[in-house]
Chain A
């Protein structure tokens, strides 16, 4: 039976014309293993399928298996669409694109041009959302640094407010959320330095996002400025905002569209980005207080 299944699947293997395509498909499968699923059900299915596709390399561009991956992603993601992180949605589009590439016998330019445009569109929509949601006025990042647990240690380093106090205030937010009292609020403490720092970073981030978006949409295909801007954005942003999933998919798209000489830089950045996981804030805090 396994032999039958093997030969049946073999019929759907597609020979890839270039090493570049092979790299993109294998990289995508690896990301699917690491961060593809959104719950235990899709994670199990994707991990088994994608690990086997990587191990048995000739199946990494099997159009039937890619179609199955697309259906699995679409089904499970649609069940929790409104709580799904955006990078999972972007990744799903990318998997659809690779599946179409195989089924429609497209050449490598299809992957390159779409990857470029996808990066540009994501950045432009991110900017558009920020502009609509009054990102120009101070407050967004300042607020996050006061009640988002991921940033409290940075706030402590920048303001000298005791970390226990910051955690205590953050812990009051759930209590506030149960109370049916209009206009009720929690008041935070901060410093003017943190206010200015976060506002500056907020505007800088917006400008860089806009620049990356415009460069990817309007610059020439072989221009390396867009690649430099995306790599700088990933390194600069994601060491403060620990969202490894989004940086990984952006770098994958970067690899997919980049000319040969730039690709190693994307791969090195992908390796560097893994160090986001190092709890550097906790390490600094430990040595500060030891």
Chain B
């Protein structure tokens, strides 16, 4: 009875505690950003999830994809993408892959100069300059003619690579570390999830 009385008196505080503990578990073991989800971890870490993607055309060419959301919810909603970045669950990543597969990708030039990024990565970009010279943005077109005019293309497979970005005081580096990958095909199934 005493427990019921305490529960009656402090129900909301118990709810806050339960949600915060659940958030703590998810942020430590399931990729949820500590800043979000009701655990009061704002301003506690610089760690953030990072989602990158490479698309593959039917001819076998690979293209670098810039994942951006849209206010108009076409093809990727800002809200959906924001939620996914803070808590990248497999179902959400699969949905993201399918949204990109079902949209056109518009190319734009990508310019990375020496000094913008670490020298090892810069050399890799230079070595693979055809791949890194353009970045493709998912875009909605009402018809394929308009897409063709923009040189937009479609892909049949996408690999989403997950990273964790963090600031390292030693060396003052903002660095990304690989976590895992997810492959999504046009016939709407995942073939495999790569381990780190």
Q: Which residues of A contact B (CB under 8 A)?
A: 39, 79-86, 89-90, 93-94, 96-97, 100, 110, 113-114, 117-118, 121-122, 125-126, 128-130, 132-135, 137-140, 142-144, 146-147, 172-173, 175-190, 195, 241, 243, 246
A18 to B52, CA, bound (A): 57
Residues of B within 8 A of A143 (CB): 46, 167, 169, 174
Query: Taking the nearest CB of chain B, how far is it from the CB of A111, in angstroms?
Result: 11
Q: Are A186 and B16 in contact (CB under 8 A)?
A: no
Query: Taking the nearest CB of chain B, how far is it from the CB of A180, in angstroms?
Result: 4
Contact residues, B32-72 vs A (CB, 8 A): 32-47, 50, 52-54, 64-67
Residues of B within 8 A of A147 (CB): 167, 174
> A82-B87, A110-B9 given as contacts; is B38 within 8 A of A89 (CB)?
yes
Q: Are A183 and B45 in contact (CB under 8 A)?
A: no
Query: Taking the nearest CB of chain A, how far is it from the CB of B169, in angstroms?
Result: 3
Q: Are B41 and A133 in contact (CB under 8 A)?
A: yes
**Binary CB contact string for chain B from 69 to 100 against chain A (1 if under 8 A, 0 otherwise):** 00000000001001100110000000000000
Q: Are A187 and B45 in contact (CB under 8 A)?
A: no
A183 to B122, CA, bound (A): 12
Q: List 5 A-B contacts (CB under 8 A).
A: A81-B38, A82-B36, A132-B24, A182-B163, A184-B120
> A82-B36, A117-B10, A139-B169 given as contacts; is B176 within 8 A of A182 (CB)?
yes
Query: Taking the nearest CB of chain A, how far is it from the CB of B4, in angstroms?
Result: 13
Q: Are B38 and A100 in contact (CB under 8 A)?
A: no
A96 to B94, CA, bound (A): 35
